[in-house]
Structures are given as structure tokens and as C-alpha cells.
Amino acid sequence: MTLILTRSQIAALLRTPDLTGTVVTDAVEEAFAALADGTDRLSPAHGIREGDDLFLPMLAASTRLGLAGGKVLADLPGNALTGLPRQRSAITLISTETGACAALLDGALPTRVRTAAASAVATRHLARPDTRVLGLVGAGALAVEHTVLIAAERPIEEVVVWSRSFDRVASFRAELSTRAPDLKVTHADGPRSVIDAADVVCTLTPSREPIVRGSWLRPGQHLNVVGAPPRPDCREVDGVAMSRSRIVVDAMSTATADSGDLVLALAEGAVTTGDCADLGSVICGLAEGRTSPDEITLFDSTGLGLLDLAIGRVLVDAARRHGIGHAMELGA
């Protein structure tokens, strides 16, 4: 039987006690480590371009999780003109034991949570322990999840947030007041003000051009560069930011193909691939992460199908425990 989980059902699962705390972050950390040691594997991503639209398969296999498959992501810039989300996706989970379709999930919330969890894992391994101020460049759907999961990794006291949209900042405040009411929230007047104030910075914008300049960065900061779509011509930080940082990517194979932040910095000669390490290698002790309190570290997050398997496993197991979802026989 195939378990089908809708967006509202996934939202209900994410509110259950067994998915609070660091459960998702720990699952994502395990996936990064399994990728580094060869236990789990990625399929090369080969997107299909139709004009300015991108359709990207993000696939992986993990006998550890008992799953293969992943996500197909549609990145459609024109959707903004009709009020639809720019990115939409669906996750298909296949049993590695039988080849049967184990589950079908709407991709919106799993993507949001696993993306924030990846940043939380990077923060766990790269940010200074004395981090107190979290900075957010962008206040959209990813902002609250990043705040909640990163605050579980470091003693965050204040969140400094900027967005071009005042309404988005207001919505961020309102949601965070229920999810993390003890955190002070400050509305910054621009990206530079966020960088000036924060110990850890998350860039969460679908930018094509750099929105953060390397000349602004301060010793000891950690950046999670997250928001740009997986396209080699889109970036949130400039080459100077990359060159000043210890760069850690989610996987070199995807970063060198789909991360504009890295691809463009490489093309400019600001960095080389030898300047980069995989996050899984850092977790496993196979590569260095932060080497000094004053070093600037930067996690370049492109997104991996393996993380969709990891969050899918967590959600499917929770759904079965709670009796949530629709079971169907697709072969009937």
C-alpha cells in the first residue's frame, strides 16, 4: 500500500510531540554523514529547462532508510504573476526492498523543514558556541523554521530580520511569537544592518544578484546561504564573501552544478574547489570545519534529494504511528 500525505496532514504531523526538538535535525545530520561515508548515494541532478522554467529531479538511494527516490522540483518564476508559489514539488518514496511505492508526499513543508534542518546541522558544526544573535535576510516561509531549529543549536537571544516586504516581517513576528515567544525580534533597515548585528546569518531570498557583500562580514561569523534557486546564474552573496570564508557545501557534485553562489565565484577566480568541503565530511571528521574563533564560515546549501528521503522517512514513520494519511493500492 502507498501512503499519501497531503500538506495539511504533514502540517499536523510536524506539530506532534515526536517531531519536536532536534528529531528532524538529527535525521538530516545522519544523512549527511551517510553520504560522506558512502552508505547513502545521490543521483546526479540533470534539470530540464523550458524557457525560464526549471524542472529538477533530486534523487537518492539509502538502504539504511529503506528508501530510494526523492523529489521533482518545479521552479517557475512566472508563478509570482498569478499568486502561486514559485517553487512546487512532490516527493516519491520507493522501497529499496521491494521496489513498491511506499509513499507520495506534497513537497512544500518537507522541503522547508529539511532545508532549515540542514542549516541547523551546519550551525551545529561551524558556528561559534557563544552565538547570541541570529540574522535573517528574508522573512518568507523559511525564516521561522530556520529560527526555531537554529535556536535549538545555539543560545539565541535575539533575531534581527530584514525583508523588502513589511507584511512578511509582520507575519514572521506573529508566527514566531507562538513558536519561540522568548526571542526578541528586531526589524533591520537593510541587509547590511543584519550583517552588522548578527553572529549567524541566514540568507533566505530567491535573489539572482548578490544581496550580501563580503566586505560587510566580520571575523567569527557563520553564514547559511540558502535562498537562491538551484540555478548556476543565481546568487545571494558575492565572490568576496566566498573568498573570505571557509566554504562548506552540502555536496560538491550538486554545488558545482547548481549553486550560483559557488559556480560564479569559481568562474571569477575568487575561490577554487579545493577551498570547499562537504558538510558530511566535516561531520565525520574527514575535513576541517571552523579552525579558529575568528574564522568566517559559510554553508552553501543547494538542496539534496537524500535529505528529502530523510525527512520522508521521519514523516512516514510518524504518520503510521498516529494513523495519519491515506493508504492506497496504486497497482489496483
Q: What is the pLDDT of residues 174-215, one digit of tens each?
A: 999 999 999 999 999 999 999 999 999 999 999 999 999 999
CA 263, CA 132: separation in Å to the nearest integer? 32
Which position has the grid cell 518564476? 77
Nearest 5°: the CA angle 100, 106, 112 is: 120
Look at residue 331 and tell me whether its pLDDT is greater than 80.
no
State the CB neighbour count (10 A cutoff) for residue 178. Answer: 8
Question: What pLDDT was estimated at residue 258?
Answer: 92
CA 137, CA 236: separation in Å to the nearest integer? 10
Cell output for 189: 533597515
Q: Which domains can be identified in the chain, with CATH numbers?
A: 2-110+306-328 (3.30.1780.10), 128-303 (3.40.50.720)
CA-nearest of 225, 267, 268, 228 to 245 is: 225
Q: What is the pLDDT of residues 212-271, one digit of tens each?
A: 999 999 999 999 999 999 999 999 999 999 999 999 999 999 999 999 999 999 999 999
Q: What percent of the chain has pLDDT over 70?
A: 100
Which residues have C-beta within 8 Å of that of residue 49, sequence separation ≥ 6?
Answer: none
Q: In sequence order, what DSSP letters do the residues of 8-45 get, joined into one string?
A: HHHHHHHTSGGGSTTHHHHHHHHHHHHHHTTSSEEPPP
Question: What pLDDT was estimated at residue 330?
Answer: 85
Per-residue pLDDT band at 44 (split at 50, 70, 90)? confident
CA 151, CA 178: separation in Å to the nearest integer? 14
The answer to whether 212 touches 201, Cβ cutoff 8 Å, is yes
SS3 label, residue 116:
helix
